[in-house]
Amino acid sequence: MFKKIIILLLVPIFVFGSDEKYVIDKTHFSIGFLVEHVGYAKTLGMFKEIDGSYTHDLVNNKINDIKIIINTNSVFTNHDKRDQHLKSPDFLDVEKYPEMIFVANNIDINKKETLINGSLTLLGVTKPLILTGRINKIGKYPFGGLIKPYVMGISARGVIKRSDHGMMYAIKDNLVGDNIELIIEFEARRQ
């Protein structure tokens, strides 16, 4: 009888403890993009400021509650004039839309690579966005003093069609590509 009571008392702890929250490490992330420029080459850019978190469901091995917030004003392409143009209403319109947000839920991570079905809100327009992602490594970090954090490393790739979000500048004349290739790399720390 006593063993049954202990088991019943421990079940809620196991259930509540099955989700681990992770927060993206702001010192170890890259959100990059490539976009065609007049057909000659692709321009490489990045966003320098993001926030994000998700939960890891240990029982079902799923990632849930993904929310990544990108500061659009942090766009960087290593060219000041181009960066200012990207911040203008022609592209990101950072004054009106200071954030773009990606959300997703119920991502099965039992495979080496998986499809991440989510949605992206850009310029106030929310559209589906499918990323291909993988978990590179989960474990104790080799750095950090006596108490080493538990870290998950993730890589993902995808394509945004910017016209889907109303970003039409220079598409008609084929001066700037419609498809934006995403390159996502980050480490997240368990809380």
- Residue range 110-158, pLDDT digits in tens: 778 899 999 999 999 999 999 999 999 999 999 878 889 999 999 999 9
What mean pLDDT, rounded, does the chain reach?
A: 92
Query: Do 162 and 178 contact (CB within 8 A), yes or no?
Result: yes
Higher pLDDT: 99 or 5? It is 99
All domains of the chain in start order, with CATH: 19-190 (2.40.128.110)
Burial class (CB in 10 A: 0-12, 13-18, 19+), 31: buried
pLDDT at 17 over 90: no
**Residue of 55, 130, 76, 66 lying closest to 101 (CA atoms):** 66
pLDDT at 3 over 60: no
Percentage with pLDDT > 70 across the chain: 91
Q: Could you tell me the pTM of the whole model?
A: 0.88
Question: Tokens 């039992």 map to which residue?
Answer: 110
Report pLDDT for 115. Answer: 93
Report pLDDT for 1. Answer: 56
SS (H, E, C) the chain: CHHHHHHHHHHHHHHHCCEEEEEEEEEEEEEEEEEEECCCEEEEEEECCEEEEEEEECCCCEEEEEEEEEEHHHEECCCHHHHHHHHCCCCCCCCCCCEEEEEECCEECCCCCEEEEEEEEECCEEEEEEEEEEEEEEEECCCCCCCCCEEEEEEEEEEEEHHHHCCCCCCCCCCEEEEEEEEEEEEEEEC
- For 36-60, the pLDDT digits (tens) are 999 999 999 999 999 999 999 999 9
Report pLDDT for 50. Answer: 97
Identity (one letter) of the amino acid at 141? Y
Higher pLDDT: 57 or 11? It is 57
Report pLDDT for 12. Answer: 47
Mean pLDDT for the stretch of residues 170-190: 97
Q: Which band of pLDDT confidence, cut at 50, 70 and 90, is reported for residue 19? A: very high
Residue 171: count of CB within 10 angstroms of its CB: 14
pLDDT at 7 over 60: no
Joined tokens for residue 148:
């080493």
Report pLDDT for 111. Answer: 74
Report pLDDT for 40. Answer: 97
Find all residues with CB under 8 Å of 105, minimum gap 6, and list them. Answer: 64, 65, 66, 118
